[in-house]
Amino acid sequence: MKDLLSSKSKIAGMILAVLILMVLPPFYSSYWVTLLTQMLIFAVLAMSLDILLGYTGLSSFGHAGFFGVAGYVVAILSTRYQTGFLICFISGVFLPVFISMIFGFLVAHAAGVYFLIITLALGMVLWGLAFRWVSMTGGDNGIAGILRPDIGIPVLLKDPLTFYYFILLFFLISLILMTVLVRSPFGHSLKGIRESESRMRVLGYHSWLHKYLGYVAAAAFAGAAGVFWAYFNGFISPFDMDLNASIEIVLMVILGGPGTLIGPALGAGIIIFLKNFISAYTQRWLLILGTIYILTILYAPQGLMNLLQSRLKRRRKDACEKTWMDEDGRFENRTG
């Protein structure tokens, strides 16, 4: 009964949040609409890492590589070959998936710090290619002039508000797909690997295969986010896929709450807001980033969403106990 009420409250909260995201933006200035659009794109990126970090227990310092690769695919195809949106999207998702399928054979057999080192190396390789392959990627200057996509319907995505709703739709579809994934038998097996990989092997599960598929799925969603980031930003550079970018994504997941999907989305919104707000006053954003990370580890090690859920459960339990007090004001042991 408690789980049912908890699920209903979560659904009600989600519906309320979606309604707010749909209704309020027309009353905001273009600056806030643009900022919300950026938050939604990075929310999908953070949720994609949550598949690895939150549900499988694998930390990756190369996740921004998939994000950047997809952005470069869109930039090259759209600016040099005037390729349409559909082909750009498919290609932008395919290449990160292809790369993850190749390197996945290495990372799937690793765990802990070894997984972290391998993904860090992959991220540095992808960043190095973007930085050094000047004839293809533009090197340090990146690629500019990426126009908003033409999706084949009479809707002008050049307008910030229209593009915002387009990205909101992308966010909701991604959230639904990832929710279905983590709640499926496959998703439950990822949680089992997170808790005890050796036990899952004893039970007959091919843990490396589950980690491999989870890694590929995370890369696919990161690539999709990278596609829309390129269209949104109109520019892509090696800085979109460097180590700092990967660390920011990890912080989004840790701050919001690993293993919740919504938590990393919330963490992405907070980080993007603070980054835009603080960078207007100081260039020492990395110092602020490190401070946020330390404070999160000290005071909310499970993330904001998990902290909120635990407090709500505690209040629910206290309220339930109070309803079972006897007439003398003493608690009866009837909560079990």
pLDDT tens for each residue of 38-54: 999 999 999 999 999 99
pLDDT at residue 5 greater than cutoff 60: no
Q: Which of 108-122, 196-210, 226-240 has maximum average pLDDT?
A: 226-240
Q: Which amino acid appears at position 262 of this protein? A: I
Q: What is the model's pLDDT at position 112?
A: 81
**Could you give the CA distance from residue 76 to residue 84 in angstroms, rounded to a whole number?**
12
pLDDT at residue 37 greater than cutoff 90: yes
**Could you give the CA distance from residue 315 to residue 336 in angstroms, rounded to a whole number?**
16
Among residues 101, 118, 302, the alpha carbon closest in space to that of 212 is found at: 101
**Could you give the CA distance from residue 92 to residue 239 in angstroms, rounded to a whole number?**
18
Average pLDDT over residues 324-331: 51
Q: Which two tokens stand for residue 21?
A: 């995201």
Q: State the residue for tokens 């699920």.
A: 7
Cα dist from 292 to 235, 246, 270, whole Å: 28, 16, 11
Q: How many Cα atoms occupy the beta-carbon half-sphere of 228 within 13 Å?
A: 26
pLDDT at residue 333 greater than cutoff 60: no
Q: How many domains does the chain have?
A: 1
In a domain, 82, yes or no: yes
Cα dist from 276 to 84, 180, 269, 282, 291, whole Å: 31, 32, 11, 10, 16
In a domain, 334, yes or no: no
In a domain, 327, yes or no: no
Count of Cβ atoms closer than 10 Å to residue 124 Cβ: 17
Q: What is the model's pLDDT at position 110?
A: 84
| Burial class, 220, CB count within 10 angstroms (exposed 0-12 / middle 13-18 / buried 19+) | buried
Coil, strand, or helix at residue 42? Answer: helix
pLDDT at residue 229 greater than cutoff 50: yes
Confidence of residue 170 (pLDDT cuts 50, 70, 90): very high
Average pLDDT over residues 307-332: 61
pLDDT at residue 11 greater than cutoff 80: no
Q: What is the model's pLDDT at position 109?
A: 85
Confidence of residue 252 (pLDDT cuts 50, 70, 90): very high
In sign, the C-alpha dihedral spanning 241, 243, 244, 250 is positive
Q: What is the mean pLDDT of the chain?
A: 87
Range(s) of the domain holding residue 44: 2-322
Give strand ranges (E) for 55-213: 143-144
In a domain, 332, yes or no: no
Average pLDDT over residues 228-246: 95
Helix 30-53 and helix 63-80, axial crossing angle in degrees, nearest 10: 130
**Could you give the CA distance from residue 139 to residue 112 in angstroms, rounded to a whole number?**
33
In a domain, 314, yes or no: yes
CATH of the domain at 305: 1.10.3470
Q: Which two tokens stand for residue 94?
A: 């395919």
Average pLDDT over residues 237-246: 94
In a domain, 336, yes or no: no
In a domain, 329, yes or no: no
In a domain, 244, yes or no: yes
Q: What is the model's pLDDT at position 8?
A: 66
Query: Contact at 8 Å (CB) between 162 and 232?
Result: no
Q: Kindly report the backbone phi and psi dihedral angles of residue 158, in degrees, each rounded to the nearest multiple of 5, phi listed first.
A: -70, -25
pLDDT in tens, 95-149: 999 999 999 988 888 878 888 999 999 999 999 999 999 999 999 999 999 999 8
Among residues 270, 266, 210, the alpha carbon closest in space to that of 47 is found at: 266
Q: What is the model's pLDDT at position 162?
A: 92
Query: Contact at 8 Å (CB) between 182 and 51?
Result: yes
